[in-house]
Structure 1
């Protein structure tokens, strides 16, 4: 397999075995992009570029899509010879870059690929899976901050401070940008319709799940901030629980993948 020059610490190779196939994928993790540099499936090299399709001698295609999260779709032939989507390789980068993770997704199963020894991705995995509760608390706190900051009026303050700049930009740039923005609005109109449909569906689903609950009249008034605090607390608890469960699950999968790799090397 061709290996890129390893001058950059953000370049990591992930490897592993899943569903009778061997995988190796080399990735550059940047804060602004996840870049797949090299890919090998069952010993056959694929050197993908963004939005490319690569076919090997065994009629296996690897389609690469994505920017921050990259999905590599492996297409394999059926008995009749028709190519169909099989497994996917998901590659993601951490928020600060320089590290990330890679997983094989196939038929509802998720198998992590092991980062090379000594890499930042390996250190990140060991640190996060060793302290799932602590990192889950961070996820909960981030959720709280995302919900609380808009309630503090900071948005209105920043808007007030930026008003002179906005006025100047409006006077000088609007005539230049208006044709472009009109064209962009037309291009994004289908997306807006789709998001509206999703919003209506979520509202319908919420009514189905919770609409049957009877309203409760209390003999006293409950301030709005109490309900707001309760909603934020519930969402933070959900974020904490999901993150903790995900890290525990990943720790188990990594241990299983490491054990299988050791057996293969014996």
Structure 2
């Protein structure tokens, strides 16, 4: 099993990446688990928040490159429902990052026609974080380019449970019949109801797991794992992931 998983990692050269990118076969939705900020900082003898600060700087580069390639949706796992377990000071810093990022980058996102979107439990976020993301969503709602979907205070199991509870409630109320329940119906109650499922899932830092991220939506996604820590991730790594994606045959259970 580990041998198979290791094959999902790649070491294509920059030259191979440049030659292999087919602009007619770009994944429409890319989801990224941005991992490794803490280890990046630890390797340099710095506090963990330094890694988060550097990791934030990477987002703009990745958004630009994805937009350049014609990617339609870029989902970034920014903060999970489990991340509240981290030290209080670290959590407080993480909750300030969306505000800092959007304050600096919102004009650029507007210029590039990027539409900011949020999925997660917004109610539990601090007011300053909630205000920043709400403003960004509002100001970019009419943009028609790449959708930058932040998974903030997001957990896939919680998302699935909430969707099933809503369906169960409607069945109890008599507004929905159990016979109407299907995969298509369930998807309408998910936080990604307006989005297509990810074609490509990227995880940085060498970890090979989903960490409660879009468990339903990535059922047929292609996975690409890299040992590169998120603060060191750049446009070339994104290009490499896309080049590897394009070499795979997506059969969706068929032959």
When the two structures are superposed, what TM-score results if normalisation uses the length of structure 2?
A: 0.23
When the two structures are superposed, what TM-score results if normalisation uses the length of structure 1?
A: 0.22
From the CA coordinates, give the structure whose radius of gyration is larger. Answer: 1
